[in-house]
Amino acid sequence: MAGEDKTEKATPKKRRDQRKEGNVLQSKEVVTAVSVLGIFTIVRILAGFLMKNLLSYTARVYEQSAVFEVSADNLPRLLVDMITVVVIVVGPVCAAAMLLGIIPTIAQTRGLFTMKAMKPKFSRLNPLEGVKRMFSMQSLAGIVKGLIEVIAIGVLVFDEIRDRMPRILSLMDAGLMQGIAYAALSIYDLVMTICIVLVFVAAADYLFQWWQFEKKMKMSKQEVKDEFKQMEGDPQIKSKIKQRQQEMARNRMMQEVPTADVVIRNPTHYAVALRYDQDKNRAPQVIAKGKDYLALKIVQIAEANNVYCMENPPLARALYAQVDLGREIPYELYDAVAEVLTVVYKETNKTIHA
C-alpha cells in the first residue's frame, strides 16, 4: 500500500535478496581507521629494518660516486640498486596497505562479491535526484562527521606540536641522526593519537550506518504479508493444488475398487472396500473408502465389476472412522470382518488370494 509506514524489521528473505543486490552494512571509516592504524604500526615495527636498508643504499651511492662518475655505462646498475631499495623499503608498507584495505571490507561484507552494484544507474544523471542526495540525511551526516574529524585532529596536532616545541628547538644543536630519530618518534606518536580519534569516529560511524541500514531495510506490514504469501504460496493456489491432489488420490483409490474382495456399506452414507492377500497382509486392508456421493460411487464401481457388496452399517462406520486408506484393519475388528469374509467366500465360491 503506497505511503504505508515501514515499521517491521526486515525479514531474512529480504536481507538475502538485498545482499544479492550488493546492499550490505559497511562503514568506510572503519576501513580508514584500520588501514591507518595498521600501516603505521607496521612502519613502527619495521622502522629499524627500513632505515638500515635506506642508509646502506645511501652510503653505497656516495661510495660509488666518489670512485666513478655517473655515466651511461653505470647508470643501469644504479637504477637497479635504487629500484631494489625502493621495493625493500616501500614494498612491505604497500602490501600491508593493500591487505589492510581489503580485510576490513571483507569482514564487513562477509566476503560478498557482486557486479550488480557496479552497473550504471541512469537515475543518477537526473539533476533532481542529485540535489536530493546532496541535502539528504546521509550527506548531512557525512559533513558533520568530516567537521568533527578535522576539528579533533587539528586540536590534537596543535597540542602535540605545542608541547614538543621546546624539545624541537633544542634539537637544533643536536646531531642529524638524533633529530631524525626524534622526528620519527614524534610523528609516530602523533599518528597514533590521531588513530585513536579515527577509531572513535569509525565506531560512531559504524553505529550510524547500522541504524541507517536497518531503517532503510524496514518493511511495511503489507510487504511482510506479501512476502509470506510468496514463500508459503497463495492460499487460493494452495487450495487448488490440494484439491487437485485429492482428486488424483481419489481416482487412484477408485481404480483399486475392482480388486476388492468386498464392499461394506451403510447403505448409502458409508462404503469401505476391503482386500485380503495373506502373502502380503496380516489382515484385510482398506483400499477405498468414502461417504455420501463417494460411497455411492464406490458401490457403483464395485457392482459394475462384480465385487460383493454387503450392508453392515455399524461395521461400515467403524471401518470408515478407525482405519486410514491403505492400512490394515485393527485387531478389535478382526472378528467382525472375518464373519463378513466368510459369508462372501461362501456365497461367491471365492478363495483367499494366493
pLDDT digit string (tens) for 180-216?
777 777 777 788 888 888 888 888 888 888 888 888 8
Q: pLDDT grade, residue 277 (50/70/90)?
A: confident
How confident is the model at residue 354, as a pLDDT?
39
pLDDT digits (tens, 9 = 90+) for 310-351: 888 888 889 888 888 888 888 888 888 888 888 888 877 665
∠ at Cα 280 (278, 286), nearest 5°?
85
Q: Of 29, 26, 24, 30, give the one whose Cα is nearest residue 10.
A: 24
CA atoms of 102 and 97, how far apart (whole Å) = 9
How confident is the model at residue 222, as a pLDDT?
84
- DSSP secondary structure string for all residues of 20-47: HTT-----HHHHHHHHHHHHHHHHHHTH
The structure's pTM equals 0.50
Q: In the sheet where 285-291 sits, what is the strand order? A: 285-291, 270-275, 262-266, 308-311
Per the CB < 8 A criterion, the answer to whether 307 and 257 are in contact is yes
Instruction: Give all domains of the chain, ordered by start, each with its CATH number.
Output: 252-348 (3.40.1690.10)
Owner of C-alpha cell 562503514? 27
Q: What percent of the chain has pLDDT over 90?
A: 1
Q: What would the mean pLDDT of 139-156 be, rounded to a whole number? A: 78
- H or E, element range at 316: helix 313-322
CA atoms of 187 and 34, how far apart (whole Å) = 18
- Least-confidence region, from 107-116, 217-226, 247-256: 107-116
Q: What is the DSSP letter of 39?
A: H
**What phi and psi, each to the nearest 5 degrees, are found at residue 50?**
-65, -45
Average pLDDT, the chain: 78
Per the CB < 8 A criterion, the answer to whether 265 and 295 are in contact is yes
Residue 49 confidence (pLDDT) above 70: yes
